Each structure stands twice: as structure tokens, then as C-alpha cells.
Chain A
């Protein structure tokens, strides 16, 4: 892989890495699991980048005339013409890595069925433009959170402190913090909807 390919990959990866991560979280909501699969996916993407690039093929799951490579990734003869192709290709590999992860872990997690996961993954790909727009609005909404809400979300999601420790520091209980985070997520969803309505109104 030459330096131009390095750069091409870097640009595509940086542009889409959060979307790929989100795709994985759709199936594996646990951060630890998602990180694990995301990192493995990143490595596979890196390893396969020259194939993707040199063959000018993209993974087009479900499209007519798809072929599979030796890893079982579907692909069709089509030039790389947009970043969406990279995202589709990356999500295809991520889906396989989720399956591999669940196979390795022996289904010791309470996870959704394969069929529903596929449906949700498809829904996510279909809804990607919507999600992209909502993500931009979400960033704005998160800025509006009050200090304590941001503090709680940051620290709870960062995972460096247990909920028990956080509950003590917030002078609350673990259950109350979980409920608080539910409300915060809900407020964020509502905020995004409101912002959307504001943008769509003439």
C-alpha cells in the first residue's frame, strides 16, 4: 500500500469512524463490546483497504449480482464514487465482526436475535442520512445540558468510575442515576426532534 492509499484510507476512516462505531452499538450497546468490535473492524478495514481500493469494488449487501470475497464479504463491481460506499463497506465488515464477536463470546450476553439484528442494521443503513442530521443537532442539544447533566453523562459513559462511586458523589443512588440518565437521553431525543422541527419549519 503506497502513501497515497494510506492517506486515502485515513481520510475515509476518519470521516466515517463514528458512524461505524454507531453501527456496531446498534447491535452491541455495551461500550466495552462495541469498542472491542470497532477496533477489530478497524484493523480488518486497514488490512483489506488495498483490496477494496485496487479492485474498485464496494460491498453492496443485498444488491443484485453481489459476489463474496474469501472472507464472505459481499461485493459488486462498482467504482468507489462516494464516501457512502466506504461506509457501506465498513458496515458490512463490522456486521461480520459483530457476528464473530458473539460467536467467540458464546452468546453469554443477552442479545437480540440475528434476524432482528439484521433488520435493525438494515434500518440503520437506510436511516443513515437521518441519523447524520440528528447527530449534528444532538451536538447542539448536548451543549444545552446543564452542568450536572453533562457531568453525569460524561463520567458515567467514560466508565472510569462505577455507578456506586458516582452515586455517592452525586449524593444519590445507582438506580436514581440510571433513571436520571434515562431522562437525560430522553431530553436529548426530544431536543433533537424540536430542533428538527425548527429547522424544517419555514
Chain B
């Protein structure tokens, strides 16, 4: 079969309609019979079916790592009884599956053995066996299993959620920094949909730029494009090509501390973190290792760089501490100390230490560059229609944030932003600030934290029906009080900006509920809503400075506007205590704006002096939490 095109039937043809209905789970027995009749004698129709279902399968495959279902709901595709009603009714269907196939419910009769959960458990055991065996072979020096269990899932770190009835991917860390990342142009490589969590087996192929991954163990890896790296365990990865710098600091990781029930659970259900091993765990922690085509570089408490060239040769350079460099077959092993390097050549099949020592090697990027102020929206943007509504999505309109240190995650590739108009004149863009070095995984533990930013209006864009330029909001009020509310249809264009501690990069319509959120984000991107409030728009025209201060159990938002209104205001409230939970604390600034100009600048995140408190009190609070 040499041709690569597939003859497509008209989109409204019976064949296309029936195949779509099959994909959506909305096909009836009569439809099925009709589809069979069409396919039976038509080779082209069969080829179309196969190709279309393959596309359907690939999209499913690409989104497998995104699996997570809200707590308290059945797995969306397990209960199919609502599918048919959803297909024929436009009302809200809270329990309906996203993509379904059967018109009848199968949930009540789904047996455990042979059911999804069982299969998942079996598959998990299978994967554990597979990867355990693989690592035993590949890394003889690895002293513990490198495989996590289900509990290392998004669900596992959420209070009140059970991970035992949900399928989930295994996550080994998070992306904590991106700078000028350009994903590989390899057509076989598909960049991650979501840039937050790093799933086991996820490959990162960069043509250029820097990408920082922080493993759950606390180890940090900075990939430097061009490179090809796969996160193949909780304690390491496979570098096929390019450079990385790894840092495995003792004591850097303070999240999985063995404090409280959640932490204990993590410490014993993960492969125990190398840098913070729970004494309760029966297994020793695995050492962080980087595998390459020719070598295995194993951390012995250090900071080091690894480079793999196009021939597969490996250079390991130790910045501090000591590493063990070994052959993949477990043969020759060499200890390399601080300042020294080792090169492993496949051609020569030997290893040697480079004699030249350098106290400050410059070959590797060991630190992510500091972030620069962010200009979020262009201010010569004027694409609106005459009636004040935006009629298209400017998906190809991109914006680079300085050197890309603060990455927009709605953009593709990272480092750019897309401004999309979804309804009315509201648009959204999101900036991820997780790359900011002072705001990392430990931020929640080290609260209080202060976030400050400025907002200025731009010069272009819409005018309201009366001919006035957009108003920009400068006020702030508690939710549910007064008008106008951003979720209501607005009589004139306005700016709405939300600052959220929020991993919901997709929640671009945040104004539907609140203008601003505080959301706790755990290590795997799972979110817990803490507080929300609404902004109110006024006719001020000066720059606005807003500050959000978080403490262990409270938030306070302050703003000041220096224009003609010269307004100030504040809002504060209590936060539920989260205890010393593992927190990713990614900050997203999420703007919902009219397509005139608006800039969000000088976003700064600071940690304030810690509040004195006794650790054991925190532990007790954590342990008592349901």
C-alpha cells in the first residue's frame, strides 16, 4: 500500500456521520447495521474508517497523560448512560462522559476483575516489573526501585481524593523553568500539551533553549537545546543527545519531609526521594542517574553536567561532589571527583579522565537566567469588529516575553503567547512564572509570599458604543457585591485581569466565576480552590499596582491606582490551612482583556520573613486532616 492519501467522503455523508457517531459513542444498532453495510463492500470506505479511527486513537494516546478526573465523580467514560442524552440535549450534563460509545450504562455491572480498575492495577504491576527489570539491567548501582506507584499521581496529593479508583499517569516531577524553548521540529515528536507535570516516559526534544525539570526527589536538571531527554524514572533519565546539568542537593527538597499523613504517604509510596529518605521506608532511596547511549552517570551527592554528542560519546563533568561513571553493561566503573571530567567513547570502548581541572566550567548552563519584566499584551492590537466584538481567534499572534524566561503556556511553542477571543470581547493569555528562581516548589512552605505587579493600558483597540476608549479596571471588591460583574454581559468593553495561583491554564474564562483566584497547586498540578474575588472596573486611567500577600492561613490583596482617581483599596480573607503539603506554587497571571492594549509588567514574587511557628504543631495539624 504505497499511497498515503485517504479518500475523504463528504463531511455530511452517511459514512462520515456514522463513523463520527461511533467515535462519540452515539451510534445506535440501526446506525451500526447501516455502517456495516456501507463498509462491507467498499475498500476505500474501510481505509477511511481505519485512518479516521487511527487519528481518533492518536489523539487519545496523546492525551493519556492528561488523565485525571474530578474527585467525587465517576470516571467520565465509565458511565455511559448519559451519553445519548448529551448528544440530543444542550443542557448541562454534569455526569455525562466526554467521549463515549455505549448508549447503555455499564457501570453497575462492571466487575472488579476484568474491569478498568483491575486492569489498571495489573498494568501498573506490569509496568513496575518492566521498569524494575529494565533498571536493574541498565543501572546496577541503583540501589532501589526507580518506579513509582499509582500514588505518585495527581490524585494522590489532594485531600479527600482517592487515587485508588482513578487511572492516572505516573509523574516524576515538574517543569520549573523554560527559557527560549523551541521544541524539536521532528515530525514524529509532539511537544507536551501541558508543560506543568513531567510524566514518566515523557520525552523532551529541544532544538534550542533551556528547560528545567525538578524531580519529585528534589533533583534539578537543566536541559540545553538541542537535546533529547527522556524522564525514564523518578530518579533520572535518558539523555540521547545534547547537554544537561544536574544538581542533587541534600536538603533541597523540603516537601516530602515525612511530616504528617500526606507526606508519609508520599515518602513511602514514591520511590523514596534520594535527598529526603523516610526512615519508615523499607527501601533505600535510589541514586539519581543519567543514562546515555554509552554511559551511566550516577550522582553521589553532587552537581554535574553530561553531554552526549551525535556519535553517542558521553562527557561527564563534575562541578561539585562526586559522580560514578559506568559503562552501560556494568563493566568499567570510574569515580570522578570535583573539577574532573570523564569521557566515554563508544568507538574506543574505554574511559579516561580529562586531566584539566576547571573550578568554574563554562560548558554547561547550570542556572536558569533570571526572569525579566513581562509585557503581556501588544498595545497596537486592533483587530476588533465594528460592533465591539472580536470575531476570530488570533492564534498565530504570538508574543515573546523577553528572553522567554516567563513562558506563556497558552502559546506554542513556549515563550510565546496566543491571544484568543472566545466570546464577546474577552480574551485571555496566561503567563507562567514558575521559572522564577525565588518562587519554586517550596514557596508554599515558605510563605508568606508577596506578589506584585503593575498594569497599564495600551493605546490601541476598541471603543465602546459611545466612542470612549476602553475603561480599565482599577478597583477590587468581594465577590457577589454590586455591579457590573465580569460574568454578566457588559454594556461596554472593559478590562478584567486575574492573578491566580492556578494551574488551570485552560480556565481562560476565569471571569465567569471570579476575576481572581487563589488556588493551591500541588506538585502534580492538582488544584485546590482557596479564595476568589472580583475586580470592578472604573474609569481610571493611571497605572495600577496590585500586591497579593499570602501567609500560611490568610491572603491580602492591595491595589493603588495613580491616575486621576488615585484610588487605593484592599481585600483580605482567611485561607484554609494546607499544612506542610507539597506545593508546586506555580503562578499564572491570567488576563481577560479587551483586545486593546494592556500590559502586565514587573511581576515580582518575593518571600517575606517566615512566621515563627513550631514544626510539630504543623505536623499535628497535617496528621489530623481527613
Contact = CB atoms under 8 A, between A and B. Distances in A.
B1 A127 contact: yes
Of the listed residues B73, B96, B187, B201, the one surrounded by the most CB atoms of chain A closer than 10 A to its CB is B187
B2 to A, nearest CB: 8
Contact of B92 (A34, A142, A150, A164): A164
Contacts of B51: 127, 130-131, 134, 189
Contacts, number: 311
A1 B68 CA distance: 34
Interface stretch (B97-105, B491-499, B601-609): B97-105
Contacts of A3: 133-134, 136-137
B420 interface: yes
Nearest to B122: A43
A131 B67 contact: no
The majority secondary structure among interface residues of chain B is: loop
Contacts of B28: 110
Contact of B61 (A18, A113, A182): A18
Given A146-B393, A164-B86, A193 B123 contact: no
Contacts of B507: 169
B32 interface: yes
Given A7-B134, A10-B130, A164 B96 contact: yes
Of the listed residues A113, A163, A197, the one surrounded by the most CB atoms of chain B closer than 10 A to its CB is A163
Interface residues of A, number: 100
Contact of B94 (A34, A147, A162): A162
A159 B69 contact: yes
Interface in A111-160: 111-113, 116, 119-120, 123-124, 126-127, 129-131, 133-140, 142-143, 146-148, 150-151, 153-160
Nearest to B133: A6
Of the listed residues A14, A32, A160, A200, the one surrounded by the most CB atoms of chain B closer than 10 A to its CB is A32
A151 B506 contact: yes
Nearest to B110: A105
Interface string B9-42: 0010000100010111111110110011001100
Contacts of B50: 26, 120, 123-124, 127, 131
B412 A21 contact: no
Q: Which 5 A-B pairs have the closest CB atoms?
A: A3-B137, A146-B395, A30-B101, A39-B123, A25-B57
Interface of A: 1, 3-4, 6-7, 9-10, 13-14, 18, 21-22, 24-26, 28-36, 39-40, 42-43, 46, 104-105, 108-113, 116, 119-120, 123-124, 126-127, 129-131, 133-140, 142-143, 146-148, 150-151, 153-171, 173-176, 178, 181-183, 185-186, 188-190, 192-193, 196-197, 199-200
Interface of B: 1, 3-6, 8, 11, 16, 20, 22-29, 31-32, 35-36, 39-40, 43, 46-47, 49-64, 66-70, 73, 75-78, 80, 82, 86-104, 106, 109, 111, 114-116, 119-120, 122-123, 126, 129-131, 133-134, 136-138, 167, 187-191, 193-194, 201, 393, 395-396, 410, 412, 418, 420, 422-423, 506-507, 509, 512
